[in-house]
């Protein structure tokens, strides 16, 4: 089987271009993590989340959310609970172009639960972009690993719940979600990269 295209930059290669889409983890990345939250009133955005999404929209980059919601499979949440909370997150930090979540328990063997690539693949499909042209931003290793399994780029934004070894494993974690997005937007666009490759300036 051919390996998936990867966004990971080579150590001595050119910097990556801006992505076609940025996919965010929900809990712990866009909003403070409330385990198995079924109450939209408990949704609290993390600082800078709404500004980060706005900057991406202004730059013409698609946005989405990819989230594990095993509370559904555990019987602690309903799909409607998840949709109501997602709608509140969308209201406070979005709007997002696509929402995809995994409702399964870890022991169900699904293909969508992060760190597997299913959510990233599906979000990319709905956005009509290649997974390799996406970046996933999340707060735990499963988010980054799901991105890489899909051939996308993953950026870790650690918080108090992130395991220290997960942070140490990343060469360039971002201190917060807004910084992660600003770093992406500081990259050259595809036109600038093509011109540089051809020895031209734009």
pLDDT tens, position by position, 98-119: 999 999 999 999 999 999 999 9
Query: Residue 100 has which token pair?
Result: 């995809």
CA distance 153 to 131: 9
Q: Which residues of 121-149 are buried (b: 16+ CB within 10 A; e: fewer)?
A: bbbbeebebbbbbbbbbbbbbbbbbbbbb
Q: Find the catalytic residue in 12, 25, 58, 133.
A: 25
Q: Find the catalytic residue in 27, 81, 121, 143.
A: 27
By percentage, how much of the chain surpasses pLDDT 70? Answer: 87
For this structure, is 27 an active site residue?
A: yes
Which helix (H) or strand (E) covers residue 74, if one does?
none
Average pLDDT (146-156) is 97
pLDDT of residue 82: 98
For this structure, is 139 an active site residue?
A: no
Local structure of 100: helix, strand or coil? strand
Number of separate helices (H) and strands (E) present in the chain: 7, 5
Higher model confidence: residue 187 or residue 13?
187
Q: Is the pLDDT of residue 70 over 50?
A: yes
């Amino acid at each position: 089987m051919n390996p998936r295209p990867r966004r990971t930059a080579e150590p001595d290669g050119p910097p990556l271009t801006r992505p076609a889409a940025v996919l965010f983890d929900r809990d712990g990345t866009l909003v403070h993590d409330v385990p198995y939250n079924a109450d939209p009133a408990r949704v609290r955005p993390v600082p800078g989340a709404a500004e980060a999404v706005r900057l991406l929209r202004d730059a013409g980059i698609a946005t989405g959310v990819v989230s594990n919601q095993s509370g559904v499979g555990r019987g602690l949440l309903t799909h409607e609970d998840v949709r109501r909370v997602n709608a509140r997150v969308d209201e406070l930090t979005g709007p997002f172009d696509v929402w995809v979540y995994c409702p399964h328990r870890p022991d169900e063997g699904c293909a969508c639960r992060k760190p597997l690539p299913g959510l990233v693949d599906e979000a990319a499909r709905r956005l009509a972009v290649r997974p390799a042209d996406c970046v996933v931003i999340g707060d735990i290793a499963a988010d980054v690993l799901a991105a890489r399994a899909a051939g996308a780029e993953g950026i870790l934004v650690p918080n108090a719940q992130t395991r220290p070894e997960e942070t140490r494993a990343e060469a360039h974690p971002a201190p917060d979600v807004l910084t992660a997005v600003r770093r992406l937007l500081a990259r050259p666009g595809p036109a600038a990269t093509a011109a540089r490759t051809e020895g031209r300036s734009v």
